[in-house]
């Protein structure tokens, strides 16, 4: 992309556009060649790059952990086993500290969420032009390599968590208990009339609180990763502009751009880890709340 004569705005739009597959204006199925075509494809379009990288990273996670598990030994463990055991112990401590119920599914879910989101976030450290240039050489119009910068991915994960929260809320508390939790708190009264008047208010407040959980989960992750990707793109544009502006000092300017990118990448390691941890922790907390019975 850097070698092509395009404006900064076009460069940014290109790097933030997903490889979208869906119904084209002529009625056939194919790849969108511009953002307008992608938008016209509507709800049933597929972002192939988001799906592809997400599945590949998920397979990488499962392969690595299963391979280490098969070779695990009670004797002197290797580096891979130590690394996996450290991660599992970290997840186990997080679950024990935030989840008070009994559910064997929570810890594996927390491990999957943390590692999968971390790997997807980690793709943000790949230089912004490397993979899109390869994709362009293969004839693909766009390639967005960070799945978590796509709200479809973050909303998909948060909705899955939301469904689990609803499922366990009904399973643990029953339909009546779950409905009562929504209708009879936070405001209540011993007077039946006042108690009835509080029901619509409680339903509104608790409904907003319930719906806010998946929205906050998805938008927090998407917003942070999207902003980080944008900064990397702006740094790349800055480096190109400096190189074009001054030939004599281009090496100095290029070095400055590399230092800026390296500094942001080092700081961004904290962000990508923190965002994976926050998503995992909130999932554990929400499931813990779903397992608590209110009397």
CA distance 133 to 90: 38
Asked about 93 being catalytic, the answer comes back as no
The three state secondary structure string of the chain is CCCCCCCHHHHHHHHCCCCEEEECCCCCEEECCCHHHHHHCCCCCEEHHHHHHHHHHHHHHHHHHHHHHHCCCCCCCCHHHHHHHHHHHHHHHHHHHHCCCCCCCHHHHHHHHHHHHHHHHHHHHCCCCHHHHHHHHCCCCCCCCCHHHCHHHHHHHHHHHHHHHHHHHHHHHHHHHHHHHHHCCCCCCCCHHHHHHHHHHHHHHHHHHHHHHHHHHHHHHHHHHHHHHHHHHHHHHHHHHHHHHCCCCHHHHHHHHHHHHHHHHHHHHHHHHHHHHHHHHHHHHHHHHHHCCCC
* Candidate list 47, 121, 202, 224, residue with the active-site label: 224
Asked about 216 being catalytic, the answer comes back as yes
* Candidate list 103, 220, 250, 256, residue with the active-site label: 220
* Candidate list 93, 189, 209, 216, residue with the active-site label: 216
Catalytic (active-site) positions: 216, 220, 224
């Amino acid at each position: 992309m850097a070698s092509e004569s395009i404006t900064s705005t076009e460069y940014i739009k290109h790097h933030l556009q997903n490889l979208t597959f869906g119904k084209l204006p002529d009625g056939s199925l194919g790849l969108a060649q511009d953002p307008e075509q992608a938008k016209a494809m509507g709800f049933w379009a597929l972002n192939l790059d988001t799906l592809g990288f997400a599945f590949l990273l998920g397979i990488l996670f499962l392969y690595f952990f299963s391979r280490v598990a098969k070779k695990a030994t009670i004797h002197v463990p290797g580096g891979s086993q130590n690394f996996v055991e450290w991660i599992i112990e970290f997840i186990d401590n997080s679950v024990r500290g935030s989840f008070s119920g009994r559910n064997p599914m929570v810890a594996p879910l927390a491990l999957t969420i943390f590692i999968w989101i971390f790997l997807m976030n980690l793709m943000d450290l790949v230089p912004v032009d490397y993979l899109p240039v390869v994709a362009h050489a293969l004839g693909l119009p766009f390639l967005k390599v960070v799945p978590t910068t796509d709200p479809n991915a973050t909303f998909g994960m948060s909705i899955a968590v939301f469904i689990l929260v609803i499922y366990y809320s009904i399973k643990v508390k029953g339909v009546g208990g779950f409905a009562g939790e929504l209708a009879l708190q936070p405001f209540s009264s011993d007077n039946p009339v006042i108690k009835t008047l509080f029901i619509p208010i409680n339903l509104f407040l608790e409904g907003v609180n319930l719906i806010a959980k998946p929205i906050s989960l998805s938008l927090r992750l998407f917003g942070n990763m999207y902003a980080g990707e944008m900064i990397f793109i702006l740094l790349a544009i800055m480096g190109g502009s400096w190189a074009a502006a001054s030939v004599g000092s281009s090496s100095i300017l290029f070095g400055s751009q590399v230092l800026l990118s390296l500094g942001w990448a080092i700081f961004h390691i904290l962000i990508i880890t923190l965002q994976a941890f926050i998503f995992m922790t909130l999932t554990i907390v929400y499931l813990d709340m779903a397992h608590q019975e209110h009397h």
